[in-house]
Chain A
């Protein structure tokens, strides 16, 4: 079974801090994704990556950046955290290809609070 591991289940940070959310998958998947999930808004795609060193903007990239230096690791960076970035963050991976015809495998999420 694919395992997607997010480094923290809960995280509390202060406004203006630089925040790193880490995600690791163990099945050699090429594609990785970062979503945020908010009540009433569902899942929204922040950034995704098809391969090492590649990154693509999703629906809501503003205020975020990503890093993919190794195939198994995809990091989400909040450059200067703000209270409106308080949310549940979900990382996912899928095997390969640029279509949307493959299952995505999710981590358990990081509930981030910005004070």
Chain B
């Protein structure tokens, strides 16, 4: 029942650079969410974007959604060491006949000082 797939699987950049992660999905969605997971911890919700929205901002985060291409991107500007984490997209899918969040496998982001 996997919906979203993140790309790249891993990304390593220098502190201060921008980081872009992409998520592609297969079937129509009502909304898409992005989460962050620090090593050994739970997931933290970042942004929810609805299917009728094209772009959303939260601090240094910018999320875009292109429903015609079935894809979303997460941009982190002016990256910091603390942004080192795995980032997941989650879309609404059907599990056992019920609408549920389905998570991708994540992008592992490393910010080098």
- When A and B form their complex, what is the total count of cross-chain residue pairs whose Cβ atoms lie within 8 Å? 68
B78 contacts partner chain A, Cβ-Cβ < 8 Å: no
Chain B residue numbers with a CB within 8 Å of A58 are: 95-96, 100
Contact A104 B95, CB 8 Å, known A42-B2, A59-B1, A109-B40: no
Task: With CB as the reference atom, state the residue of chain B lying closest to A105.
Answer: B45
CA distance A101 to B52 in the complex (A): 13
B45 close to A109 (CB less than 8 A): no
The count of chain A contact residues (Cβ–Cβ below 8 Å) is 27
Check A109–B41 contact: CB distance below 8 A. yes
Residues of chain A within 8 A (CB-CB) of B104 are 42
Minimum distance in angstroms from A62 CB to a CB of chain B: 13
1/0 per residue, CB under 8 A from A, across B33-76: the answer is 10000001111110010100000000000000000000000000
Whether the Cβ atoms of A101 and B48 lie closer than 8 Å is yes
Query: Taking the complex as formed, is B20 at the interface, i.e. its CB lies under 8 A from any CB of chain A?
Result: no
| CB <8 Å contact, B48 and A41 | no
Point out the residues of chain B lying under 8 angstroms from A109, CB to CB. Answer: 40-42
Chain B proximity of A103: nearest CB distance (Å): 4
Contact assessment for A103 and B98 in the assembled complex, using a CB-CB cutoff below 8 Å: no
Interface residues of B (CB under 8 A from A): 1-2, 30-31, 33, 40-45, 48, 50, 88, 90-93, 95-96, 98-106
